[in-house]
Amino acid sequence: MPELTFRQKIWLFSNTFKGLTNVYGTYDPISGKSWQVKQRVTGQVIHDHLRGKRPFGVYLLTGQKVKAVATDFDQKDLLVPVEFVARLLELDLHSYIEVSKSKGYHVWLFFDEFIDAAGVRSIIRKILTEMNRADVEVFPKQDKLQNGTAFGNFINAPMFGRLVLEGKTAFLDLDNMPNLCDDQWQFLQNAKRHNQADIDKVLSNLDIQVEPPKACYADEKTDDTDSFGLVPCVRTILQQGVDSYQRSTCFRLAVRLRKIGLPCDITIAALEAWAAKNNPIEGKRIITLQEIHNQVESAYKKTYSSFGCEQSEINRYCDESCPVLKSREKRS
């Protein structure tokens, strides 16, 4: 396997330990004091972490979704996290042990998509209870972000440059414990990543009932179109991209994605993928990442009752099967 470039390493790390993108945590390696940084998680932030200049702490919970979960065993006894990993493996869930920065271990589960936090947290809590370790912390500590819980709790990410050299914040070789993996990047590339179907299967086998997640903005004023989800025009635009009106379309898409309960950072990620599908006419450029951020942030500043059906950039994708259209026809 060819060695990754540093740019590829930053991408791999960012995509594996992905969470909120508008805030992160850090700490002083000398005093141990930690604090929150209300700034965007950029490539430079990850670069500084991997180089050992400034630690990065990730807020794993995005709305009600996660792409990774960590169980924090705050003790030096390796046998406990090893037992935990074994119990997960009995359920066909692969997990990995990281030596933490001070004492103890973190056990990580990775996912190739954002999945519901409630389900995987329920599985972990059940195993911990059976192990008489119900006091062990699981990150994220909540099933979803709600009003009054803007960020949740961050956990220090693995592979902080200077500590890796000391054998800390690095992953163990599960086939040769207690030794570390010889190549942390090869490990990260090859680590098993699960999906929602894997978690749903385990929940069913364990007969764990998880309450269906609700939108994270339940207290906001909404109209009767909120329950329609991704209406036909939105699906078409997201699947095909557009050739014009990129910025105004981006804003309207953000309004709809917010209405169905997606947090701001997930909407930004979705619209970044959407932008790559755009094919602007007349030689115009594709909407930039900064422009996407600006449009989404505007859409999230206050509640908008209209999706923009009357605007030309939206109504040209209108479909007769659209529930919003039918609802308006009934009222008229």
What are the pLDDT digits (tens) for 18-71? Answer: 999 989 999 998 888 999 999 999 999 999 999 999 999 999 999 899 999 999
Give the pLDDT band of residue 111 (cuts 50, 70, 90): very high
Please report, for the chain, how many H helices and E strands are present, in that order.
Answer: 13, 9
For residue 37 the two structure tokens come to 């940084």
Q: Among 42-56, 262-276, 311-325, which range has the highest average pLDDT? A: 42-56
What ranges in 191-309 are assigned the alpha helix state H? 196-205, 232-240, 246-259, 264-275, 289-301
pLDDT at 229: 61
Q: Does domain 6-205 have CATH number 3.90.920.20?
A: yes
Residue 225 has pLDDT above 50, yes or no: no
Residue 259 has pLDDT above 90, yes or no: no
Provide the β-strand partners of residue 139. 70
Supply the DSSP string of 55-105, one letter for each residue. Answer: --EEE--BTTEEEEEEEEE-SS-THHHHHHHHHHHHTT---EEEE-SSSSE
Residue 205 has pLDDT above 80, yes or no: yes
The least confident of 90-94, 144-148, 170-174 is: 144-148
Amino acid at position 30, single letter: I
Q: What's the mean pLDDT in 161-168? A: 95
Contact between residue 117 and residue 62 where contact means Cβ atoms under 8 Å apart = no
pLDDT at 50: 97
If 0-12 CB within 10 Å is exposed, 13-18 middle and 19+ buried, where does residue 58 land?
A: buried
Q: What's the mean pLDDT in 125-152? A: 88
| Among the listed residues 298, 221, 236, the one whose alpha carbon sits nearest the alpha carbon of residue 267 | 298
Give the pLDDT band of residue 215 (cuts 50, 70, 90): very low
pTM: 0.67
Give the pLDDT band of residue 117 (cuts 50, 70, 90): very high
Contact between residue 118 and residue 213 where contact means Cβ atoms under 8 Å apart = yes
Q: What's the mean pLDDT in 7-24? A: 94
pLDDT at 214: 53
Residue 147 has pLDDT above 60, yes or no: no
Query: How many Å apart are CA 183 and CA 236, to the nearest integer?
Result: 43
Mean pLDDT of the chain: 87
pLDDT at 227: 40
Q: For Cα atoms 8, 14, 17, give the angle at the middle one, nearest 5 degrees.
A: 135
Looking at per-residue confidence, does 209 or 310 come out higher?
209
Give the pLDDT band of residue 310 (cuts 50, 70, 90): low
The least confident of 124-128, 232-236, 239-243, 264-268 is: 232-236
Q: Where are the domains of the chain?
A: 6-205, 226-331
Radius of gyration of the chain (CA): 22
Residues near 28 by beta carbon (within 8 Å), at least 6 away in sequence = 34
Residue 319 has pLDDT above 50, yes or no: yes
Using a pLDDT cut of 90, give the percent of the chain over it.
66
pLDDT at 332: 44
| Among the listed residues 125, 162, 97, 117, the one whose alpha carbon sits nearest the alpha carbon of residue 20 | 117
pLDDT at 256: 87
Give the pLDDT band of residue 97 (cuts 50, 70, 90): very high
pLDDT at 137: 96
Contact between residue 64 and residue 145 where contact means Cβ atoms under 8 Å apart = yes
pLDDT at 186: 96
| Among the listed residues 327, 278, 279, the one whose alpha carbon sits nearest the alpha carbon of residue 306 | 327
Please, what's the largest Cα pairwise distance for the chain? 71
Q: What's the mean pLDDT in 174-187? A: 95
Give the pLDDT band of residue 102 (cuts 50, 70, 90): confident
